[in-house]
């Protein structure tokens, strides 16, 4: 059992801290947002993540998990320090490493002995070397510090089970002591361990996210072509998915990928290549197809409604995917902003993310407490996020409540026949000929 400090109490940091505590380690989770730390100390989880709250409570009560704003104290008491702060996209597409740099500096200043410093944030190749040199520059003495890369592959909405039952754990490090410590930490998970050098491990994370994003843009492009040829993309997915080299996972066409990671990580990897004179045309296209998927959705409304000015669109789902309240880079938000720009009115509902969406969208969008309130008087409906409760939408009730008759199923979760039986028109993604 180890003494661990996790810096950053966001989606990754809080889940990592809680799960390592659950495995019996002594964990302190640090954040420089004092309100967040106060909330966590009072048992409030700062975001929605299934089954996390109970686990946080259990481990704080067992005194295996604590929260603080005091990074120096946390660093001094820990054998292993995880950096799990955000690495958002800069306006030029590069990863913004300012939080990672700030934390490395504070770790350096607080050093009083040998430490293992692990980067869990998603960072460009060479960041491990940067962390190492910042720590050395600020350390008060010549302490042995091993910098390890241990990227995280959890998904929001299933973060706890993804962490505890990973397909693999990747560890990039250059010394035997750090490798042994990482093997000990992850031993209870009984997952395959891929051990590499630090740079390779950093690259593995970007390659994994870029590949998954590529699968989505690929199937979205196939879906768009299917629409033009009157072919159902779902049957195409089944037909190609049985080929085990292809597989069925991550081949759901829709309104595009969103979230705090795929968009930024594809761009960051592209930028890493571009600045070394390789234009990375595939990554560029993955991103382009994704942006166009949003435009294409708006275009479908424009075409089917004969323009958007003065039209009312009901949007079901605002989070970038179900089971999270995260609206960062959510396609629903991007589509709504374009609908508003073209003069439409938007009424919307998300089971969990209404509050987060209100902060981004402001007062121009009417956010409703139920899905049926949102569809009232709408000319058309967009299913943007496939929350389970939307699967049982009562189309007859919608038909009565709506002014118009168009349902655009942005995640292909409805049966077109059921929608049509209620007297509504159905459009999916890659399911119905568009012209
Ligand atoms: P987040 O924005 O939810 O959380 C980051 C936290 O770090 C915030 O609470 C912030 O207050 C804190 N922080 C920032 N600067 C700090 C400092 N100097 N000292 C202490 N705390 C500080 O971010 P996230 O979604 O958890 O992502 C973190 C990293 O993990 C990113 O690199 C991301 O790409 C990667 N990642 C995210 C996911 C995911 O599903 N969200 C999955 C895998 C990897
Ligand atoms: C993704 C990866 O799946 C994680 O492995 C990774 O750790 C994480 O990014 C990260 O680095 O942050 P996440 O963003 O939480 O996880 O969610 P996903 O389930 O991957 O979905 C991402 C987006 O792709 C969502 O907008 C989703 O709707 C979309 N998607 C996903 C599709 O459009 N089609 C699919 O078939 C799958």
Task: Please state, as a whole number, how many other Cβ atoms lie within 10 Å of the Cβ of residue 114.
Answer: 11
Of the listed ligands, the closest to the CA of 87 is 1
* 3-state class (DSSP) for residue 381: strand
Domains of the chain (ranges plus CATH)? 3-194 (3.40.50.720), 210-427 (3.40.50.720)
CA distance 55 to 273: 41
Token duo for residue 294:
């949003």
Query: What's the sign of the alpha-carbon dihedral 106, 110, 112, 118?
Result: negative
What single string gives the DSSP state of each residue in 201-221?
A: HHHHHHHHHHHHHHHHHHHHH
Distance CA 322, CA 316 (A): 11
Q: Is the dihedral of CA 286, 231, 246, 238 positive or negative?
A: positive
- Please, what are the averages of pLDDT over each run of 10 residues along the chain (435 residues)? 96 98 98 98 94 97 98 98 98 96 98 97 98 97 96 97 98 96 97 98 98 98 96 96 96 97 98 97 98 98 97 98 96 98 98 97 96 98 98 98 98 96 97 64
User: Which of 19, 173, 261, 398 is labelled catalytic?
Assistant: 261
Cα-Cα end-to-end distance for the chain: 63
Q: Residue 14 — φ and ψ, nearest 5°?
A: -70, -40
ipTM of the predicted assembly exceeds 0.85: yes
Within 10 Å of residue 101's Cβ, how many Cβ atoms? Answer: 15
The reported pLDDT for the residue numbered 435 is 45
Check residue 433 and give its pLDDT: 64
Contact 250 CB / ligand 2 (< 6 Å): yes
For residue 158 and ligand 2, the question of a CB distance below 6 A is answered with no
**CA-CA distance, 334 to 321, in Å (whole number)?**
14
Cβ of 251 closer than 6 Å to ligand 2, yes or no, is yes
């Amino acid at each position: 059992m180890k003494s661990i400090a996790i810096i950053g109490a966001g989606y990754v940091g809080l889940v990592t801290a809680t799960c390592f505590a659950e495995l019996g380690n002594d964990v302190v989770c640090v954040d420089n947002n004092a309100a967040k730390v106060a909330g966590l100390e009072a048992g409030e989880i700062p975001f929605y993540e299934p089954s996390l709250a109970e686990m946080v409570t259990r481990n704080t009560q067992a005194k295996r998990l604590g929260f603080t704003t005091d990074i120096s104290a946390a660093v001094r008491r820990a054998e292993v320090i995880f950096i799990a702060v955000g690495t958002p996209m800069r306006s030029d597409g590069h990863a913004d490493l300012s939080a990672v740099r700030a934390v490395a500096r504070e770790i350096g200043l607080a050093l009083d002995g040998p430490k293992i410093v692990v980067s869990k944030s998603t960072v460009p190749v060479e960041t491990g070397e940067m962390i190492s040199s910042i720590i050395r520059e600020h350390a008060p003495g010549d302490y042995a510090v091993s910098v390890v890369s241990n990227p995280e592959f959890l998904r929001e909405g299933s973060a706890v089970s993804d962490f505890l039952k990973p397909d693999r754990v990747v560890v990039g490090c250059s010394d035997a002591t750090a490798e042994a410590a990482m093997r000990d930490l992850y031993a209870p998970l009984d997952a395959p361990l891929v051990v590499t050098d630090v740079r390779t491990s950093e690259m593995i994370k970007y390659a994994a996210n870029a590949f998954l994003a590529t699968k989505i843009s690929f199937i979205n492009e196939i879906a768009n072509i299917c629409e033009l040829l009157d072919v159902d993309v779902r049957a195409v997915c089944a037909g190609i998915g049985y080929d085990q080299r292809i597989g069925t996972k991550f081949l759901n066409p829709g309104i595009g990928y969103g979230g705090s990671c795929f968009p930024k990580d594809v761009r960051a990897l592209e930028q890493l290549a571009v600045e070394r004179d390789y234009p990375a045309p595939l990554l560029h296209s993955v991103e382009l197809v994704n942006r166009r998927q949003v435009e294409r959705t708006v275009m479908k409304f424009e075409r089917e409604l004969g323009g958007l000015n003065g039209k009312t669109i009901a949007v079901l789902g605002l989070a970038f995917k179900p089971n999270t309240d995260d609206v960062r880079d959510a396609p629903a938000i991007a589509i709504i902003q374009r609908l508003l720009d073209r003069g439409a009115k938007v009424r919307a509902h998300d089971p969990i993310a209404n509050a987060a969406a209100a902060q981004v969208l402001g007062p121009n969008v009417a956010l409703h407490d139920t899905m049926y309130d949102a569809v009232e008087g709408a000319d058309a409906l967009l299913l943007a996020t496939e929350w389970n409760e939307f699967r049982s939408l009562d189309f007859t009730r919608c038909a009565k409540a709506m002014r118009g008759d168009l349902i655009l199923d942005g995640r292909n979760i409805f049966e077109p026949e059921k929608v049509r039986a209620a007297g509504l028109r159905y459009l999916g993604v890659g399911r119905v000929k568009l012209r």
